[in-house]
Amino acid sequence: MLKAVDLVSVRWYLQAFRVKKLSLLLGILLGLWLFGAGVIWMAERDEAASPFNSYTHALWCSTVYLVSGLDEEPPATTVAKLTTVFMMLVPAGVLVLLGTFCMATFSRLQLLAGHVKICPEDTTFKDHIVICGWNTKGDAVIRQLHADQFEQGTMRRPIVIVSEQADSIPITNTKAYQGVWAINDDPVQDPVLEFKACVKTAHSVIILADETAGKAGGADAATVLISLAIQTICPNTWTCAEILDHRNEIHFERTAVTELVSVRNIAGKLVARAAQQHNLTKLFMDLLEVSRDTNEVYILTVPKQLVGQTFEQAHAIVRKTKRPEMVLAGVQTSGTKKRHGEVVKDNFDNEIRTKVLTVNPPREGREMDSEMSTRFFSAQAFDDERVSRDHKLSSDDRLVIIAREEPDLSILAKEHTE
Amino acid sequence: MSDTGIIAENVRNHVVICNWNDLGDQIVRELRSSVIAEQKPIIIVTDDLESLPAAMRGGETAFGGNVIQEQDDPYEGVFIVPGNPTNERVLLRAAVKSAETAIVLSDPREGDHADAKSVLIALAIEAIEPEVHTIVEILKSKNRIHFQHTLVDEIVCIDEFSEKLLSQSALTHGLSDFYMRLLTATEDTNEVYLVEVPERFVGKTFREVEEAVFNDETEDAILIGIQAVADRLNGEQKVYNRFGHQLSERVLTINPPSKENLANRADLQKRGIRDRSYKLQEGDRLVLIAYHLPKLGKPTAE
């Protein structure tokens, strides 16, 4: 992955320094040099007294004509004289052009300095993160995605920002913004997402709310449009959208969005929970902060050695692990998407498959009173069927782990089997 | 202001919400969830009555304000005290002195200066009763610093929260679902509970308690951390209240590190982080994920 980022950087430098045009100008100069020297030598080679009758000397004189003017005696033949005049006038123009070109290039680079680099044309990305749209949260999102903790390993991925103001995004932290590329275009356009941002091969897509849209409704409508464009191109790409008004959640039902972050909705819940259980905000902020000092929540594939074990057995194995310290908090299984108890189907009448998360699986047979459980929360009820502690883990399942760094679960299982 | 006395006598351990915005409705509904065993009275202090839900604006007058009628179930037992929450007398009418928690929401009418008003309210609450647990919503994380010299217990910056959540969800798929489930108080979702360490666990290590909690057949709970009592610090200095009493706080340790790992981290030790072999003491709390308040110990109260 890092190699891919480096290659893009090389391509960016080639484009930023306009190496193609520079090469063309240098090529013209080289051609003129060789051509001039050749013509002078051809014209003068039969003149015994002429100093230009050797090609190497003609090349030397040609060099002098290019940069300063006449060196020694003038050539004897008319053709050589005319060529000399040509060599003194035309390349001078080319040299001026070259100088101007270099100045323009450096001025342009000066303007671009401190801003996110524009992605070179025809660049392809894989396993990257696409950010559609840009708002005040974008900078912090990038800092989190490229936090020091992810300096090494698979978690640090290239980031591609698609926004109409992408080229004016300032770099606030050089380290965090390494491997961040801007596409200065409208994220609603299918071709932009498909061919420039390569959403088909992306690890995730984040859609930021358009804060300039005025009301929450306008911003959420723009988010719906982008998610519909992604749905058309690649319905299976993991898409996470920020919405400003949770009442708009329903509009995302048949879009590609797999995670909706309704900020104020979650914040309201957090404040209410903190009023009940004091200091809970610290707990959640600790879990959400990406740093070496804090814990994060990881959802990781079940290692081979744990396949076939129950959640209860897996919990015992995790408890026994001394390094790294972690807590097994839940399991993610495959299931069908449901809303108000009914299976959600796509436009072709196929059941939509989704990942079902069970935090703290209960013991077998513990049932809940669904009528009571959804009081005041009918729109947000969790309809999917959760698994119990006796659920046997399969290779498609994933474990929800709380740890300070991404744990290598294969080591965990080996430790246990030893 | 005769009403002040009536409220102070009759309402205790309640939740005071200062200012009103769209978070308010969400908070009231969460606090009225069926899984919350103890439904505490809620008093809303605002001078912007127009912004309150229609169901709240009618109703009988009580305590110098309005009482919400049962038309909308979650608003049962919710009172309004009209007035500017920066005003000490208005806060006294809301019986802040005997409140358990004060929530200061940002005032949308103040625009960019909403955080400044929140600071004033927080200071006014502290002046009346420093022991009340104060939670403040701020709009800009850079204003966090202004609350460092107050005794505000918790600060919620929504932008900060969403930035972190969005970025982590992009890296770890399904994460927002995890948080939504933990934060939604229903009977089929888990919540995070902080419970006093029961007697039988005093003197035991995190590892021992973790196993005991998971294997407790009466509960479906997972232990994820502990909260141990430590001195309250502002930077490196101890914090005292206006009566000269040193303040203490509970330091949260999620997934405690091993003794060996913690020994190499002076910064974590300074913050009061406990290791896995730390023996739980009376007054410490367990941080549990459970479907309802686990009956391992008494419910917590600040």
pTM of the model: 0.72
Chain segment B135-185, per-residue pLDDT in tens:
999 988 888 888 877 778 889 888 888 888 888 888 888 888 888 888 877
Query: How big is the A-B interface in CB pairs under 8 Å?
Result: 299
Do A108 and A101 touch, CB atoms closer than 8 A?
no
- CB proximity A159 to B under 8 Å: no
Q: Least CB-CB distance to B32: which of A312, A376, A400?
A: A376
- CB proximity A328 to B under 8 Å: yes
* Token pair in block for residue A259: 């995670």
Residues A387-391: what's their mean pLDDT? 89
Residues A196-203: what's their mean pLDDT? 92
Chain B CB contacts of A368 under 8 Å are: 187-188, 291
**H or E segment and range at residue A82:** helix A78-112
- CB proximity B29 to A under 8 Å: yes
The residue among B191, B53, B77 whose CA lies nearest residue A373 is B191
- CB proximity A323 to B under 8 Å: yes
- CB proximity B229 to A under 8 Å: no
Distance, C-alpha A185 to centroid of its chain:
15
pLDDT of amino acid B294: 85
Find the length of chain B. Answer: 302
DSSP B13: S
Cis, peptide link before residue B299, omega less than 30° from 0:
no
Rounded to whole angstroms, the Cα distance separating A409 from A163 reads 38
User: Which residues share a beta bridge with B238?
Assistant: B233
Given a cut of 90, is residue B37 above it in pLDDT?
Answer: no
Lowest mean pLDDT, pick from B8-12, B30-34, B154-158: B8-12
Given a cut of 70, is residue A407 above it in pLDDT?
Answer: yes
Rounded to whole angstroms, the Cα distance separating B103 from A22 reads 64
Looking at chain A, the whole-number percentage of residues with pLDDT higher than 90 is: 17
Chain B CB contacts of A145 under 8 Å are: 167, 170-171
With an 8 Å Cβ cutoff, are B135 and A274 in contact? yes
- CB proximity B125 to A under 8 Å: no
Q: Which residue of B has its CA nearest to A323?
A: B258
Rounded to whole angstroms, the Cα distance separating B216 from A384 reads 26
In terms of average pLDDT, the best of A110-124, A163-177, A253-267, B169-183 is A163-177
Chain segment A316-339, per-residue pLDDT in tens:
988 888 778 899 999 998 877 666
Rounded to whole angstroms, the Cα distance separating B151 from B168 reads 30
pLDDT of amino acid A70: 62
- CB proximity B216 to A under 8 Å: no
Substitution target in B25, B165, B217 with the highest count of A β-carbons within 10 Å is B165
* Token pair in block for residue A58: 């003609």
pLDDT of amino acid A340: 63
Do A400 and A328 touch, CB atoms closer than 8 A?
yes
Chain segment B43-69, per-residue pLDDT in tens:
999 998 888 877 666 544 444 455 444
pLDDT of amino acid A232: 85
* Token pair in block for residue A350: 């196929």
What is the predicted ipTM? 0.80
pLDDT of amino acid B69: 47
Chain segment B250-299, per-residue pLDDT in tens:
788 889 988 888 887 777 777 778 888 899 988 889 999 998 888 875 44
Q: Least CB-CB distance to A376: which of B74, B154, B220?
A: B74
User: Which residues share a beta bridge with A301?
Assistant: A398
With an 8 Å Cβ cutoff, are B156 and A238 in contact? no
* Token pair in block for residue B142: 């850079």
- CB proximity B294 to A under 8 Å: no
